[in-house]
Every structure is written in C-alpha cells, then in structure tokens.
Amino acid sequence: MTAAFRHLGFLYGSDAEWLEMAVPFALDGLARGEPVLVATTSANLELLREAMGDEADGVDYAESAYFGRRPPQRATAIHRYWSRRRGGVVRIIAEPVWTGRSRREVDAWQRMEAGFNVVLADTTVRLVCPYDTRIVDPAILDDACRTHPELVAGDAVRPSPQFMAPDEFARRHTAPGSVATVGDIFDFDGDLGAVRQYVLGKATPLLGTEDAVAMFGIAVGESLTYLLRQGITHVSVWVRPAGGRVVCTLHSEQPLAVHPFVGFRPPDRPQGDGDGLWLTNQICEWLDVTSDDTGCTVELAVPGHRAAEAFGV
C-alpha cells in the first residue's frame, strides 16, 4: 500500500460481512505498526472486540454518533487523529449515521463523503466508510458508490465505476438558500456594528443563553467576513426560527465562485481554496454556500433553545 490517502466504501448486509472486512483491516494495520481507529455502532464494536480477542486492545474505538456529530466535525476528527500521530499512515473505519436524518442533513453528510476526497487528499489516512444495506436507504447506497473512489468487495478492493468528481457531486447535493419576506431583512452596506446588533437582537429570544447567542453571532460574523473578502459589497441578512432551529441567510445579488467544500479545511492547514468558513462550519448544524446568475447565498442554522434544552446540543 502506498503512503497516500485512500477512501473506500463498504456495503455490507450481515454481521459476518462486517467482520470479514473489519478484522483483517485492523489486524493488518496493527501488524504494520499503523494506528487503527474504528468508529461504528456499539453492536459492531462489540462484534469486533470479540472477534479480535487480545489484539482488540491495540485498536482505538468510538461510537459513530460521538465521532464528529456533524459532518465538518467528522472531517476535523479524522484529520486530528492523523495529525496527532505525526502524519504517518493511519487506518480508520468511520461509519456514518443515516437513520432519522432530514433530507438536508443527509445531503450534508453525503457532501462530506465527497469532500473527504479533497480535504484529506494530502494525508496518509486509509479510510473505510461502511454502509449497512439492512437499514440504509437504497438511494444513499447508490450515492456511496459515487463518493468513494474505491469499494471493498469481499477480500478485494476495486475502483468504483460510478465514482463522480467530488465538486460535481457536492453541487448536486447543496440546497438553495431561502427567500426572505420583504420587511424581514437587514440590508448590510458596510456597518458591521449595525448588522451585529440586528443579528444578536433577533437571536437572543430564540437561543436562550448568552453563550448560544455569542456563538451564533460568531458564525454569522465569519460568514459575512467571508463574503466581504470575496469582494461582495452589499448583503441582505435574514434571521428567523425554522423547524426548531435558528437560521440565518446572507444573500447578495453579486455571483461568487464558490468552492464546493468551503469551510472544511481546519485553520492550522495551509490556506487555499475552500478555507474561510471553518469555524462557522464547526458551530452550525448545517452550512450551505450557493451561487448562480442571480447572486450568492450563505445559509446556516443552529439548534433553537428548545432543542438545545431537550437534547443538550
């Protein structure tokens, strides 16, 4: 195996198929002195520990739900695991959680899968992403073949004939921004203090705590700064509650050349296309940046105070 990033999809339909992939993958890594991390369901973790016996102690474990709860956090967690091991080859099995997600959340996780091919391209991670065909929607399984350059099939690895260029896939799975009702928007024309006052005034009764309001303000502020750095001079800002979330839309009639994975590169990495919204992406449940002939839109969302109180997010 060459010391370069590899991104493999794995579709399995039984516990036996899971173990046929996971056990050799982990044992081979340990034999080579490569760190191994397995992030999957608690049931799969138990199966793997039992199957590996004493060798299981050499593996790092995490439940999928806690290994990067949001897509950008998952990308950051993978990069951090690699960088903390001084950039050597590491092996990671990272199974996404698909059940119970909204269409927009599914799109965000699928964009993350495509984004791995770009934002982790300069690492030496060998990443396997399992998909349980017993519970995952067939449309998601089809897209797994489009986001992974290689697929695990039994004890072999083969190129995926359906693999799609990551930027093309991401653009097809990015939701358009919302349109504000006249009278609800704030027109930003250079006064950063005024737009901050508007955002915090709208967010305070919706978010409940000073910390939540402050983080929302940071996310919106970084988004506005990103647009300004791209030469956008006039922005309409709209903050409102929607589906248990607090959503902010920033829209300009000026089109923008949007990198499909903007916000996925951590700030400690070399700067380049795709950087500029990393902190916003870490704070928010989702972040969409789109542009067409009518202009560009940044839309972001955080949990409203009722969701935060109920689920501790």
Same domain? For 137 and 263 the reply is: no
**What spatial distance separates the first Cα and last Cα of the chain, rounded to whole Å?**
40
β-sheet with 36-40: strand ranges across: 60-63, 36-40, 90-94, 125-132, 6-12, 150-153, 156-159
CB-based contact 198:296 (threshold 8 Å): no
- Does residue 178 lie within any of the structural domains? no
Strand, helix or coil for residue 299: strand
Q: Of 228, 247, 227, which is closest to residue 299 (Cα–Cα)?
A: 247
Same domain? For 161 and 17 the reply is: yes
CATH, residue 81 = 3.40.50.300
Same domain? For 164 and 195 the reply is: no
Same domain? For 242 and 155 the reply is: no
The strand pair at 60-63 and 6-12 is best described as unpaired
DSSP 8-state class, residue 261: T
Which secondary structure element, helix H or strand E, spans residue 26, and what is its range? helix 15-31
| The 3-state secondary structure of 273-294, one letter per residue | CCCCCHHHHHHCCEEEEEEECC
- Does residue 179 lie within any of the structural domains? no
CATH, residue 219 = 3.30.565.10
Same domain? For 198 and 295 the reply is: yes
User: Where a domain ends, among 146, 172, 198?
Assistant: 172
Burial of 103 (C-beta count, 10 Å sphere; 0-12/13-18/19+): exposed
Same domain? For 146 and 194 the reply is: no
Same domain? For 307 and 197 the reply is: yes
- Does residue 180 lie within any of the structural domains? no
- Does residue 257 lie within any of the structural domains? yes
For 159-173, write each residue's pLDDT tens digit: 999 999 998 998 888
Same domain? For 204 and 229 the reply is: yes
Distance of alpha carbon 217 from alpha carbon 45, whole angstroms = 39
Mean pLDDT by 10 residues, the chain (313 residues): 82 97 96 96 96 96 89 88 87 94 88 92 95 97 97 91 93 66 75 91 90 92 91 92 90 88 69 67 86 90 64 42
Q: Of 246, 247, 229, which is closest to residue 179 (Cα–Cα)?
A: 247
pTM of the full predicted structure?
0.77
Domain coverage including residue 203: 186-311
Structural domains in the chain (count): 2
Same domain? For 161 and 25 the reply is: yes
For 145-202, write each residue's pLDDT tens digit: 999 999 998 779 999 999 999 989 988 887 665 555 545 789 988 888 899 999 999 9
